Amino acid sequence: MTKLRLGPIADDKPVRLTVELPAAVHRDLMDYARLLAHESGQAEIALAKLIPPMLSRFMEGDRAFSKARRLRISAAEQNRG
């Protein structure tokens, strides 16, 4: 069986955000949601529930983002102290 990067989707209080996706990305997301639901034994997964954990995983894996964030937080703490 395929090991997808995302696990079961947590139920969390959402913040509404509207985006437009290219049709090809939408089709890929639908396929991913079906595969993830099958792999995790969950019922059908709505795309709106799939996108937040995908974005989180993307940002967690972006080393440049993590480094810039750490530097920004460190600089802010130095300015306060």
Per-residue pLDDT tens for 50-72? 888 899 889 888 888 888 888 88
Using a cut of 0.75, tell me whether the model's pTM lies above it: no
What is the token pair recorded at 19?
Answer: 């985006």
Domain boundaries, the chain: 24-80
Residues 6+ apart with CB under 8 A from 2: 35, 39
Tokens of 6: 């995302």
- pLDDT digit string (tens) for 15-28? 788 999 999 999 99
Structure confidence at residue 33 (pLDDT)? 94
- Going by pLDDT thresholds of 50, 70 and 90, the confidence category of residue 2 is low
Token look-up 């947590």 returns 10
pLDDT reported for residue 23: 98
Q: For 17, left (φ over 0), alpha (ψ -120 to 50), or beta?
A: beta
The per-residue pLDDT for 66 is: 87
Q: Quote helix, strand, coil % in the chain, to nearest 5.
A: 60, 0, 40
